[in-house]
Structure formats: structure tokens, C-alpha cells
Amino acid sequence: MNVISIQSQVAFGHVGNSAAVFSMQMHGIDVVAVPTTLLSNRPGYPTIRGRVLDADLVADLLRGIEERGALDAAQMILSGYLGSAENAKVVAEFVARAKAKNPALRYCCDPVLGDRDRGLFVHADIPPLVRDRLCALADLITPNHFEFEYLCGTKAATTDQVVKAARAFMARGTIVVTSAELADTPEGEIETLAVERAKAWRVRTPKLAISPNGTGDLFAALLVSARLGGAGTPEALSHAASAIFAVLERTAASGMEEMRIVESAELLTRPRRKFECIAIIR
């Protein structure tokens, strides 16, 4: 199994490819990791070094892996934080070219745009490109609740509203909404919903008192890993939710800010506690 993962990279901590690659490798996936940024650490620390990579460099790296036959070997492209509108355009062009060359190739777009605590945290010219170009190419989209509402252009506070908005936004494939807190979400829990044209599912996990960066990057990687391993949508959703809860539970116990991904290596593939998906009848 091969994945081309196009995301940010940090030297310290676990976000972007620095969260996604190890988790996919633990599932037996050979990852071709292409950076969109090279940073010392994620934002949020007193200092940050490095920079967003120039679009010409990102395009050159993508052309280089294409020349090495990466498109022929890959089953999935995964994209995350892009850093600039120019990089978003480069990635959109690459995905379109890749899918034309390899029609069996699937594309997962993790639209890293913002969250409910900070709002949009990327440059204002990036979100429209992610919505109109990248999501249009995607077979799988993994927004958090805030990003989902931005993409759909509507508030979604109930299960019915999420399902309706998802189906209006995505004509095919699967959209998975993470970190959802809806009108019927039990207190102390948080949920993830997966919506397709004819079916939908939800999985609930306890809400922990931490919110480390990179959880969306890790979740998308876990979901992609399960799908490539042959799991259907409900099984993949259950696995990703269970594994990320295990990582977050260990992170909370450690008292550290960065996710304890490496320490949780065995839990990435075999989480001790399994959270089952429930079908949403709509």
C-alpha cells in the first residue's frame, strides 16, 4: 500500500506529516511524504523558525516523485496544511494530473483551515481554493465541525443538518466531520460523523480535557490507513476514532502538550478500547 502525503513538516512535535507518516507506516503503508512547510515547531510556542515552501519548490518535488513512478504505485493521495494559495493551486493541479494518469487513485482532502476556538487560521485566499478546487477532486474529505460549516456555507447544529449539508456539498464519496458537538451529543462526549449519498454513521467518544495540535492530521492518516487496509466506512471510522482516543488518553496522562504518538505506537493499530459506529437512519 502506498500513500502520497502532502502536508506541513515540523522538526519538533507532531503535526502534519510529522504526525501522519508514522501512523500510516505502523499500518504497513509506504508513505511518500512531500512537505508544504518546513518549520521548527507548530505555531503556539514563543518562537517559530522555518518557512512555508515556495510553490515552485513544492511543484518540483511533486514532479520529481512523479518521475520516480509514485503515481503508478500509489493508492491514495492525502493532503493537509498547504501554507499558501499558490501551494493549494499546485496541489490541485497535481491531484488532477495524478487522477487522470491513474484513475484508480483516490484522494483524501483534509481541509486544514481553522477551528472553533481560533476561527480561520490560514491566509484568506486559501479556503476558497480548498473548497472549490481541492474538495471538488476528493473522494474523502475530513473537516472538523468548524471547517465543515465553512465549506458548506451553513450552520449545522443537528444531525439532520449535518447530513443534509454534507450531501448538498459532496456529490460523491465520503465526508467525515470530526470534533462535532451537536444538539443531541451527550454531555462529556464528542462525535465524528461520516456521510455518503445513501448512508451515514456516527461514533462517540469521551471528551478529554486536552486539545493538542495535530489531532486532525492524525485522524485523517488513521482513517486513510483503515480504508486502504480494506475496511468499509463504518469500520474505518470506528478504528480512527478509537485509535486517536487512545493516543489522546495517553497524552493527557503524560501531562505534555505534544501528542504521544510514538509512545502509543501499538495503540495506533490495536487500540485497547473500541468505539463502535452507529448507523444514522435518514
Per residue in 21-39, pLDDT (tens digit) is 999 999 999 999 999 999 9
CA–CA separation, 82 and 111 (whole Å): 9
CA–CA separation, 14 and 42 (whole Å): 8
Q: What is the pLDDT of residue 119?
A: 85
Which of the 8 DSSP states describes residue 132?
Answer: I
* Domains recognised in the chain with CATH numbers: 2-279 (3.40.1190.20)
Residue-averaged pLDDT of the chain: 96
Mean per-residue pLDDT, 122-133: 96
Q: Which helix (H) or strand (E) holds 234?
A: helix 233-254
- Whether the pLDDT of residue 148 is over 80: the answer is yes
- Whether the pLDDT of residue 117 is over 90: the answer is no
User: Angle at the Cα of 221 (from 130 to 215), degrees rounded to 5?
Assistant: 80
Mean per-residue pLDDT, 230-243: 98
Instruction: Please check whether residue 10 is in contact with residue 40, taking contact to mean a CB–CB distance below 8 angstroms.
Output: yes
